[in-house]
Amino acid sequence: QLQLQESGPGLVRPSETLSLTCTVSGASISGTSYYWGWIRQPPGKGLEWIANIFYSGTTYYNPSLKSRVTISVDTSKNQFSLKVTSMTAADTGVYYCARLNWNDAYWGQGTLVTVSS
């Protein structure tokens, strides 16, 4: 059974960079035709897709976040990661890693990131 688990700091200071990692178990990131991605959800608000990455390293970003976001993959560790620069209070929320395909979806449990000094 495919499982995804987010890890990273729960608290980030304003203007700093957030770094999150998603560890995948139950399947290999390499050599499959799936995209691996990040979605976030501010408290009490809706879902916002952030970015997707293919195992080869090809990336796709939400245009509204593209200037501040980097997604990367480490196939040797079966992990993929997200960096968000210049964090502000508006970036506070639950960050999910996921494999969203057209006919199935696997999500991590989500990790709460709070931006505060």
Partner 1 sequence: EIVMTQSPATLSVSPGEGATLSCRASQSVSGNLVWYQQKPGQAPRLLIYGASTRATDIPARFSGSGSGTEFTLTITSLKSEDCAVYYCQQYNTWPLLTFGGGTKLEIK
Give the residue from 75, 115, 74, 76 showing the smallest Cα distance to 95: 115
Does 35 engage in binding with partner 1 (CB under 8 A)? yes
Q: What is the rounded distance in angstroms from the CA atom of residue 98 to the CA atom of residue 107? A: 4
Give the residue from 49, 20, 23, 25 showing the smallest Cα distance to 37: 49
Contact in structure between 97 and 72 (CB atoms under 8 Å): no
Does 47 engage in binding with partner 1 (CB under 8 A)? yes
Please give the structure tokens belonging to residue 94.
């639950």
Does 8 engage in binding with partner 1 (CB under 8 A)? no
Does 111 engage in binding with partner 1 (CB under 8 A)? no
How many residues of this chain interact with partner 1, rule: CB under 8 A? 23
Contact in structure between 40 and 95 (CB atoms under 8 Å): yes
x/- binding map, residues 68-97, to partner 1, per CB under 8 A? ----------------------------x-
Does 103 engage in binding with partner 1 (CB under 8 A)? yes
Does 100 engage in binding with partner 1 (CB under 8 A)? yes
Please give the residue ranges that form the binding site for partner 1 (CB under 8 A): 35, 37, 39, 46-49, 52, 54, 60, 62-63, 96, 98, 100, 102-105, 107-110
